[in-house]
Amino acid sequence: MRLHRSLAGKLLCWGFVGSSFVLALVVGLGYVQARSLLEEELEAKARELAQATANRMAIVTESLERTTETVADLVDTLAVDRAALAEVIARTVERNAEIYGSALALLPREGEEPFAPYVYRDGDELVRTSLAAESYRFDVQDWFVLPRHGGAPQWSEPYYDEGGGNVLMATYSAPLRDGRGDFRGVVTADLSLPWLTSFLKSLPLLGPEGFTFLLSAQGTVIAHPDEALIMNETLFSLAKSRDDDGLAELGRHMIGGEAGFGAVTLSGQTGWTAFAPVGDTGWSLAVFFPRSELLRDVATLSRTQGAAALIGMILLLAVIAFLAQSITKPLRALDGAVQALAGGDDEAPLPDPRGTDEVSRLTASFAVMREELRRSMAELARTAQARERIESELRIGRAIQMSLIPKTFPPFPTRSDFALHALLEPAREVGGDFYDFFLTDDDHLCLAVGDVSGKGVPAALFMAVTRTFLKALAREERSPSRVLERLNDELAEGNDASMFVTLFFAVVDLRRGLMRYASGGHPSPLVARPDGTVSTLPRPRGPLVGALEGMTFDEGEKTLERDDRLLVFTDGVTEAMTAKGELFGDDRTARALSALAALSCREIVAGLRERLVRFADGADQSDDIALLLFTYSGKGSSDP
Partner 1 sequence: MKLERTVQNDKTVLSLSGRLDAMTAADFEKESLAWIDGGDRKILLDLAELEYISSAGLRAILALAKRAKAVGGALAVSSMTGMVAEVFTISGFDAFIPVAADRESGLEAL
Rg (C-alpha) for the chain, rounded Å, is 71
Nearest alpha carbon to residue 518 among 508, 529, 503, 531: 503
Ordered DSSP codes for 570-617: -HHHHT-B-TT--B-HHHHHHHHHHHHTTS-HHHHHHHHHHHHHHHHT
**Shortest distance (Å) from residue 458 CB to partner 1:** 11
42-50, 54-62, 352-360, 542-550 -> range binding partner 1 (CB under 8 A):
542-550
First to last CA, the chain: 103
Residues from 393 through 432 that contact partner 1 (CB under 8 A): 429-430, 432
Name which of 276 and 547 has its Cβ closer to partner 1: 547
Nearest alpha carbon to residue 517 among 543, 541, 491: 541
Name which of 436 and 451 has its Cβ closer to partner 1: 451
Helix, strand, coil tally for the chain in percent (to 5): 45, 25, 30
- Residue ranges in 221-357 assigned as alpha helix (H): 235-242, 245-255, 291-342
Torsion of CA 534, 540, 541, 543, to 10 degrees: -70
**Shortest distance (Å) from residue 451 CB to partner 1:** 6
180-188, 335-343, 492-500, 589-597 -> range binding partner 1 (CB under 8 A):
492-500
Write each residue from 601 to 640 as x if it is in contact with partner 1 (CB under 8 A), else as -, in one continuous string. ---------------------xx-----------------
7-15, 189-197, 345-353, 496-504 -> range binding partner 1 (CB under 8 A):
496-504
**Shortest distance (Å) from residue 586 CB to partner 1:** 10
Residues from 436 through 465 that contact partner 1 (CB under 8 A): 451-455
- Amino acid identity of residue 444, one-letter, is H
Nearest alpha carbon to residue 585 among 547, 550, 556, 611: 611
Residues from 545 through 564 that contact partner 1 (CB under 8 A): 547-548, 551
Q: How far apart are CA 60 and CA 397, in angstroms?
A: 137
State which of residues 98, 227, 561, 571 lies at the interface with partner 1 (CB under 8 A): 571
The answer for 185, left when phi > 0, alpha when psi is -120 to 50, beta otherwise, is: left
Name which of 106 and 452 has its Cβ closer to partner 1: 452
The answer for 624, left when phi > 0, alpha when psi is -120 to 50, beta otherwise, is: beta
State yes or no: residue 225 binds partner 1 (CB under 8 A).
no
Residues from 499 through 528 that contact partner 1 (CB under 8 A): 499-500, 502, 520-523
Phi, psi of 618 (to 5 degrees): 90, -15
Residues from 336 through 375 that contact partner 1 (CB under 8 A): none
The answer for 546, left when phi > 0, alpha when psi is -120 to 50, beta otherwise, is: left
**Shortest distance (Å) from residue 2 CB to partner 1:** 57
SS3 121: strand
Phi, psi of 625 (to 5 degrees): -125, 125
State which of residues 35, 128, 332, 541 lies at the interface with partner 1 (CB under 8 A): 541
Name which of 181 and 494 has its Cβ closer to partner 1: 494
Name which of 120 and 500 has its Cβ closer to partner 1: 500
State yes or no: residue 497 binds partner 1 (CB under 8 A).
yes
Number of residues that bind partner 1 (CB under 8 A): 29
Name which of 386 and 548 has its Cβ closer to partner 1: 548
Q: Which residues bind partner 1 (CB under 8 A)?
A: 429-430, 432, 451-455, 497-500, 502, 520-523, 539, 541-544, 547-548, 551, 571, 575, 622-623
